[in-house]
């Protein structure tokens, strides 16, 4: 059994914490989680009474205080592994270049592989990392071009939260298409969503925007929806969507919409260097995505999805009964996760 620190300095990628805790516990490792308080809301049923789990709440992600806490804890507890929930950023760089106990090894997830090409800081981080996790099989070939460190592909599967009893029930005959996340035009083509709302083929469809619509460009998008007179076709939220409510809508949805195509600013990253959070939500909940055919030429894009080339095809697809999606193989994910720790441990001896 290894003693493992799981560290997240910032407020992003919180959806990846719970799956890693579960993988580590299932493999018999002790887990000490370091994160800011806001991240705890994203971890369903985090049990501080569990024998193999402990928690340190970090202060604000700004400044050096959180780095000092993790650094001092490493020297006090001498963990076998420090697992970085995100192996990028200035705080990670500073931590890695501090003097460390000789037996402690650093591994972690790189969420944007292109950083290894464009960032000097990321290349320096790479010098101190012993191994990486990447979030999809289809990213492995590109990653192998950028680093010689050991790699494993993992799917950060979250337990599907219990549905909130207070959430609305979907009316009979209505189709729900869910778009997880706040309104971010760099990540999703929301103009196509407006086109769907105006298309006669979607007359019995509601679009559920599962994210805070008051951040980023959410107010702008909601304003356009009202100007078009299609506000009754949308379900939006003015604050963080609680896990139970989020789960209720995803469970009742007919399909998920990633809204990724060649028109968005970050389109190329989804082919080579990163994944969309919608992909992991679809896997975790056993849902099928409706994807633009632009994604269809990605080798090993092995998610449950139906592809469309235009709005007419999409309108037909969303009324087709969703296919039965195989339950994700959590045990395989755990074995793959643990195998990197085993490999890194063997190489360090």
Residue 27 scores a pLDDT above 70: yes
**Average per-residue pLDDT for the chain:** 90
Helix axis angle, 277-285 to 243-252, nearest 10°: 70
pLDDT confidence of residue 240: 85
| pLDDT tens-digit series, residues 322-345 | 988 877 777 888 898 999 999 998
Instruction: List the structure tokens of 220.
Output: 């702008």
Say what percent of the chain tops pLDDT 70.
Answer: 95
pLDDT confidence of residue 349: 66
Torsions phi, psi for 45 (to 5 deg): 65, 35
Q: How far apart are CA 78 and CA 102, in angstroms?
A: 9
Torsions phi, psi for 91 (to 5 deg): -70, -40
Confidence of residue 90 (pLDDT cuts 50, 70, 90): very high
pLDDT confidence of residue 107: 97
Indicate the Cα dihedral angle 142, 147, 151, 155, nearest 10°: -50
pLDDT confidence of residue 163: 65
Residue 216 scores a pLDDT above 90: no
pLDDT confidence of residue 208: 97
| More confidently predicted of 190 and 215 | 190
Residue 198 scores a pLDDT above 90: yes
pLDDT confidence of residue 243: 79
Residue 40 scores a pLDDT above 70: yes
pLDDT confidence of residue 161: 61
* Inter-CA distances, 132 with 87, 202, 323, Å: 8, 43, 33
Residue 24 scores a pLDDT above 70: yes
Do 246 and 285 meet the contact criterion of CB atoms below 8 Å apart? no
Distance from CA of residue 32 to its chain's centroid? 21
Confidence of residue 48 (pLDDT cuts 50, 70, 90): low
- The Cβ-side half-sphere exposure at 95, using a 13 Å CA radius, reads 31
Q: How far apart are CA 57 and CA 59, in angstroms?
A: 7
Confidence of residue 142 (pLDDT cuts 50, 70, 90): confident
Judged on CB neighbours under 10 Å (0-12, 13-18, 19+), 196 is: buried
| More confidently predicted of 265 and 42 | 265
Provide CB contacts within 8 A for 284, sequence distance 6+: 157, 158, 159, 160, 328
| pLDDT tens-digit series, residues 269-299 | 888 888 998 998 998 888 999 999 999 988 8
Nearest to 244 by CA among 32, 45, 61, 8: 45
User: What are residue 57's DSSP bridge partners?
Assistant: 35
Residue 129 scores a pLDDT above 70: yes
Q: How far apart are CA 295 and CA 303, in angstroms?
A: 11
Q: How far apart are CA 181 and CA 212, in angstroms?
A: 7
pLDDT confidence of residue 207: 97
| pLDDT tens-digit series, residues 159-183 | 666 667 778 899 999 999 999 999 9
What mean pLDDT do residues 207-229 have? 93
Q: How far apart are CA 205 and CA 135, in angstroms?
A: 31
pLDDT confidence of residue 30: 93
- The Cβ-side half-sphere exposure at 259, using a 13 Å CA radius, reads 25
What mean pLDDT do residues 231-239 have? 94
């Amino acid at each position: 059994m290894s003693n493992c620190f799981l560290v997240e300095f910032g407020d992003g990628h919180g959806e990846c914490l719970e799956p890693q805790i579960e993988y580590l516990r299932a493999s018999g490792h002790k887990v000490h989680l370091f994160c800011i308080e806001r991240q705890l809301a994203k971890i369903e049923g985090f049990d501080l009474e569990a024998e193999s789990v402990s928690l340190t709440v970090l202060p604000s992600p700004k400044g050096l205080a959180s780095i000092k806490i993790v650094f001092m804890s490493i020297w006090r507890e001498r963990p076998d592994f420090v697992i970085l929930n995100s192996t990028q950023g200035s705080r990670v760089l500073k931590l890695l270049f501090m003097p460390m106990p000789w037996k402690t090894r650093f591994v972690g997830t790189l969420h944007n592989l292109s950083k290894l090409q464009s960032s000097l800081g990321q290349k320096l981080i790479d010098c101190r990392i012993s191994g990486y996790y990447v979030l999809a099989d289809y990213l492995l070939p590109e990653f192998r071009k950028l680093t010689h460190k050991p790699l494993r592909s993992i799917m950060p599967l979250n337990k599907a939260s219990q549905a909130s009893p207070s959430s609305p029930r979907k009316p009979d005959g209505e189709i729900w298409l869910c778009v997880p996340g706040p309104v971010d035009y760099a990540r999703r083509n929301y103009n196509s969503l407006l086109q769907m709302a105006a298309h006669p083929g979607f007359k019995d469809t509601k679009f559920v925007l599962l994210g805070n619509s008051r951040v980023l460009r959410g107010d702008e998008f909601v304003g356009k929806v009202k100007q078009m007179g299609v506000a009754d076709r949308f379900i939006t939220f003015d604050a963080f969507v609680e896990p139970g409510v989020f789960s209720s809508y995803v469970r009742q949805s007919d399909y998920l919409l990633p809204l990724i195509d060649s028109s968005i600013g970050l389109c190329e990253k989804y082919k080579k260097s990163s994944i969309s959070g919608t992909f992991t939500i679809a896997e975790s909940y056993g849902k099928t995505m409706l994807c633009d055919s632009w994604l269809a030429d990605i080798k090993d894009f092995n998610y449950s999805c139906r592809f469309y080339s235009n709005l007419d095809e999409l309108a037909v697809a969303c009324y087709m009964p969703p296919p039965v999606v195989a339950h994700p193989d959590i045990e395989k994910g755990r074995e793959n996760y643990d195998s990197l720790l085993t490999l890194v441990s063997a190489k360090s001896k």
